[in-house]
Amino acid sequence: MNPDLNSQLILLLPEMIIAFFAMFVLVLDLYFKDKEKNLVYGLSQLALLFAAISTAIQGFEIKVLAFNGMFISDSISTYLKLLAYISMSLVFTYSRTYLKARLLLKGEYFSLSLFVLLGVMLMISSMNLLMIYMGLELLSLSLYALVALDRDNPKASEAAMKYFVLGALASGLLLYGMSMLYGLTGSLDLLIIANALQEIPIDQSILVFGLVFIVVGIAFKFGAAPFQMWVPDVYQGAPLPITMLIGSVPKFAAVAMSIRLLFQGLETLSSEWQQMFLFMALLSMLIGNITAIAQTNIKRMLAYSTISHVGFIFLGLMSGSVNGASAILFYIACYALMTLAAFGLIIALSANGKDFELLDDFKGLNKRNPWAAAIFLITMLSLAGIPPTVGFYAKFSILESIVSAGYIWPAVFAVMMALIGMYYYLRIIKLMYFDEAPKLIVINIPKSLLWVLTINTGSIILLGIFPKTLMSIAAITAGFGLQS
């Protein structure tokens, strides 16, 4: 279906809204003092609301290609964009008090965050290698700047430099792989590439060589082993709100890029890339869970936890089936909810000036703030995959998809790694409920933050008790999005 120009612009309306507000907020911020930043915050949230409405109107059952096949609006794009808006809204909500206390609540934070979201949205709707790369660079460059937002913090500057150097290397590898695909097929369009791989005889060795570079680029953006070296350093060095942003919103773009490239563009090479993803999945779960046990910093621990979760996502990719794609879409929604709740509470506890970064900071939290301890308890149980939280069903859906695809021993290995991973999550619970705090000082959390955290955590329990709704939405999304 090739719509006219007006229809194509309507499909692009959510991206245009976010781009306009990203620039408008940056300019408007120049005319407001630090005490008046609430207006900039409100405009950023308003941009997300307008974009969500314009995306939701497009619906789930459409599949429209626009701008000569470069841009697609389908169920996958609608689903992932709506999740990205909700996640970014929560990031803004959790971050405001923390950044204001440290004089970092500036227009460039909101503007760069909206540009991150714009990059994510472009990647989600990309059906062209060039557009995927443009969205990726917009996303990456904005994140590099955000990591260094606290210019007086040497750790943040160091983390930004590491992220920039390694990110540039990964982008170069991905671009090299894309250029080889273009050279072999003569097109940047994913659908044309898919047809060319089926119909034109191509040297398989060169094709697999290019595929390796593309898979490495995907693995780096996810933070999968053995390309995970940037994750713990960036998580620890970046300001807490930026760490929360990196751990949530860009993951939707990574999932979309993987599904578009692998399931829709390179499906004929599935036997090759499945083996690569199987290796990285097992290695990510092994390194992530084992290394997390040795951490004393909560941000580094959650970084290695992220690596282990990426291992589960890669298992879903490895299955190469619609069931696998459905499980991934369900998993990424659950993972975002859990990550935002975990970092949101850490930010709320750090709002009074002292960052809660060490595990020992959580000692006796139940006596200092029982409600905060209960929220973190539920979040840790969900990350560990213990029922009745949604984290259990997220992992179960991935395991079910790979078992149905015939991969039994990777599923057994994943269960073993999940059991090992329970240790460092349960250790946090032990510190909160059974250890004595050095100083029994009551911790007060702003009521507005506490309400949002309660709703966020409540959704983890609610979706754990009634998982079928979100699982059905993910299944419908995958079914409509991947049908030819």
In this predicted structure, the answer to whether residue 351 has a pLDDT above a threshold of 80 is: no
From the number of C-beta atoms within 10 Å of its C-beta (0-12, 13-18, 19+), residue 28 rates as middle
Q: How far is CA 443 from CA 342, 351, 372, 425, 439, in A?
A: 17, 10, 9, 22, 11
Residues 6+ apart with CB under 8 A from 406: none
- pTM for this predicted structure: 0.94
In this predicted structure, the answer to whether residue 393 has a pLDDT above a threshold of 90 is: yes
* Contact status, residue 135 vs residue 253, Cβ threshold 8 Å: yes
Q: Quick count: other Cβ atoms within 10 Å of Cβ 409?
A: 8
pLDDT digits (tens, 9 = 90+) for 406-425: 889 999 999 999 999 999 99
What's the mean pLDDT when you consider all of the chain? Answer: 90
pLDDT digits (tens, 9 = 90+) for 46-62: 999 999 999 999 877 78
Q: What percent of the chain has pLDDT over 90?
A: 60
Q: Which of 164, 160, 161 is nearest to 243 (CA)?
A: 160
Q: What average pLDDT does the segment 70-84 reach?
A: 93
Identify the domain containing residue 64 by its residue range. Answer: 5-482
Most confident of 55-69, 238-252, 428-442: 238-252
Q: Distance between alpha carbon 439 and the CA centroid of its chain, in Å?
A: 36
Residue 484 has a pLDDT of 61
pLDDT higher for 263 or 484?
263
Q: Which of 55, 57, 45 is nearest to 21 (CA)?
A: 45
Q: Quick count: other Cβ atoms within 10 Å of Cβ 338?
A: 28
Q: What average pLDDT does the segment 153-171 reach?
A: 90
From the number of C-beta atoms within 10 Å of its C-beta (0-12, 13-18, 19+), residue 372 rates as buried
Q: What average pLDDT does the segment 135-161 reach?
A: 91
Residue 282 has a pLDDT of 94
Phi, psi of 348 (to 5 degrees): -65, -40
Residue 202 has a pLDDT of 74
Residue 241 has a pLDDT of 92
Q: What average pLDDT does the segment 4-28 reach?
A: 89
For residues 387 and 112, give the distance between their C-alpha atoms in angstroms, rounded to a whole number.
37
pLDDT digits (tens, 9 = 90+) for 87-132: 999 999 999 888 888 888 888 899 999 999 999 999 999 999 999 9
For residues 350 and 429, give the distance between their C-alpha atoms in angstroms, rounded to a whole number.
18
Residue 46 has a pLDDT of 95
pLDDT digits (tens, 9 = 90+) for 284-331: 999 999 999 999 999 999 999 999 999 999 999 988 888 989 999 999
- Could you give the number of structural domains in the chain? 1
Residue 2 has a pLDDT of 57
The length of the chain, given as a count of residues? 484
* Contact status, residue 366 vs residue 355, Cβ threshold 8 Å: no
Write the DSSP string, 44-55: HHHHHHHHHHHH
For residues 232 and 318, give the distance between their C-alpha atoms in angstroms, rounded to a whole number.
25
pLDDT digits (tens, 9 = 90+) for 174-209: 999 999 999 888 889 999 998 888 887 777 788 888
Residue 103 region by backbone torsions, left for phi larger than 0, else alpha for psi between -120 and 50, else beta = left
Q: Which two tokens stand for residue 134?
A: 């443009």
- Cis peptide, bond prior to residue 387, ω within 30 of zero: no
Residue 312 has a pLDDT of 93
